[in-house]
């Protein structure tokens, strides 16, 4: 039976979504093509109908996960987002969490296409608040962008450091608590309406 173009696109999206979750849970080297395709409900042989290589899928899955992270960051207020992001709940669920916190270290060792997907996703997330807050024609200040870079790096770093500790380690919780308090204290105040 021939697969329609629409079904082929849906199958590809399912593979990308599955890969995005599995890569966040296990890292890029912890997921083989056969396991990934089985988890998505397809045969190993079908992989190359959709992707030229595992690296191609890694880049696409990274872009997908990073876009979701950016959407989540913009869905609520900054304080609510950071309170969740730098939490034990987020720390303990990498498969449903942030792609940056789960895979930045892995991405640093991958081909340029994966690094480019990360750079684009990070840039998108950094510039999203500026697009929302600025009036047309306004330019973002270097200070505002620098503040967002520092807050992002601290939030991602807090989760990564906490994950590197044993689950029952008091240090894992201390890292989250200290960094969450620091980030929340430095969030910009709401602009007047």
How high is the pLDDT of residue 137?
A: 54
And the tokens for 191? Answer: 């602009």
What would the two tokens of residue 38 be? Answer: 């089985």
Say how far apart CA 154 and CA 116 lie, in whole Å. Answer: 21
Number of C-beta neighbours around residue 173 at 10 A:
15
With 70 as the cut, is the pLDDT of residue 151 above it? yes
What is the structure's pLDDT at 131? 56
Confidence of residue 192 (pLDDT cuts 50, 70, 90): very low
User: What was the pLDDT predicted at 132?
Assistant: 55
Write the CATH number of the domain with boundaries 5-186.
1.10.357.10
For 162-184, the pLDDT digits (tens) are 999 998 899 999 999 999 999 99
Q: How many whole angstroms separate alpha carbon 182 and alpha carbon 56?
A: 38
pLDDT, tens digit (0-9, with 9 covering 90-100), for 30-40: 999 999 999 99
Could you list the beta-strand ranges (E) of the chain: none
Over residues 143-152, the mean pLDDT reads 93
> Which one, of 186, 182, 173, lies nearest residue 87 by Cα?
173
Where in the chain are the domains? Answer: 5-186
pTM, 2 dp: 0.87
Tokens of 114: 């994966």
Q: What is the pLDDT of residue 148?
A: 92
Quote the pLDDT of residue 3: 80
Angle among Cα 113, 115, 121 to the nearest 5 degrees reads 105
Helices (H), the chain: 5-26, 33-40, 47-50, 54-75, 78-85, 88-91, 99-107, 112-133, 142-163, 170-186
Helix (H, G, I), strand (E, B) or coil at 97: coil
Q: Quick: pLDDT tens for 52-99.
A: 999 999 999 999 999 988 777 777 788 999 999 999 999 999 999 999
Q: Is 144 exposed, middle or buried (CB count within 10 Å of its CB: 0-12, 13-18, 19+)?
A: middle
Once rounded to an integer, what is the mean pLDDT over residues 128-156? 78
């Amino acid at each position: 039976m021939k697969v329609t173009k629409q079904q082929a696109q849906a199958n590809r999206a399912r593979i990308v979504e599955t890969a995005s979750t599995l890569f966040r849970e296990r890292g890029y080297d912890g997921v083989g093509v056969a396991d990934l395709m089985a988890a998505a409900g397809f045969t190993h042989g079908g992989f190359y109908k959709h992707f030229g290589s595992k690296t191609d899928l890694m880049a696409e899955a990274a872009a997908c996960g990073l876009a979701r992270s950016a959407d989540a960051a913009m869905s609520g207020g900054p304080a609510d987002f950071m309170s969740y992001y730098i939490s034990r709940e987020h720390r303990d669920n990498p498969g449903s969490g942030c792609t940056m916190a789960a895979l930045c270290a892995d991405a640093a060792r991958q081909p340029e296409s994966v690094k480019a997907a990360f750079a684009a996703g990070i840039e998108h997330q950094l510039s999203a608040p500026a697009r929302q807050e600025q009036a047309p024609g306004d330019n973002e200040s270097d200070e505002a962008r620098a503040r967002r870079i520092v807050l992002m790096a601290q939030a991602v770093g807090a989760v990564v450091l906490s994950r590197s500790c044993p689950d029952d380690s008091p240090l894992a919780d201390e890292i989250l608590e200290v960094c969450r308090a620091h980030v929340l204290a430095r969030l910009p105040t709401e602009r007047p309406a």
